[in-house]
Structure 1
Amino acid sequence: MSSTKYTLDRIEDGYAIFLKYPDEVEQVILSLAAIDKQIQAGDRVLIEEIGDTYHIEVLNEETAQKKAEIHSLMERLRRKNNHLDG
Structure 2
Amino acid sequence: MRTMTKGQRYTLDRIDDGFYVFLYYENEQKELVIPVTELSAELTEGDVVELFIEDAHYKVRILQEETKDLQKKVENLLEKLKNKK
TM over 0.5: yes
Work out which of the residue numbers 50, 69, 75 in structure 2 matches 1:71: 75
CA RMSD, 1 decimal: 1.0
Aligned residue for 1:76, secondary structure, equals helix
> Structure 1 stretches (4+) deviating beyond 6 angstroms?
none
The structure with more helix, counted as a fraction of residues: 1
Work out which of the residue numbers 42, 47, 69 in structure 2 matches 1:43: 47
Q: Name the structure 1 match of 2:12.
A: 8
Larger radius of gyration: 1
Alignment-mate amino acid for residue 72 of structure 2: A
The percentage of aligned residue pairs carrying the same residue is 30
Work out which of the residue numbers 66, 78, 82 in structure 2 matches 1:62: 66
In the TM superposition, what is the alpha-carbon distance from 1:47 to its structure 2 partner?
Answer: 0.2
Aligned residue for 1:2, secondary structure, equals coil
Report the TM-score, using the length of structure 1 for normalisation. Answer: 0.87
Q: For the residues of structure 1 that align with 2:71 and 2:12, how far apart are their CA atoms?
A: 13
Query: Where do 5+ consecutive residues of structure 1 fail to align?
Result: 82-86
In the TM superposition, what is the alpha-carbon distance from 1:51 to its structure 2 partner?
Answer: 3.5
Report the TM-score, using the length of structure 2 for normalisation. Answer: 0.88
Q: Name the structure 2 match of 1:25.
A: 29
Alignment-mate amino acid for residue 30 of structure 1: I
Q: For the residues of structure 1 that align with 2:72 and 2:26, how far apart are their CA atoms?
A: 17
User: What count of residue pairs does the alignment treat as equivalent?
Assistant: 81
Q: Name the structure 1 match of 2:57.
A: 53
Aligned residue for 1:11, secondary structure, equals strand
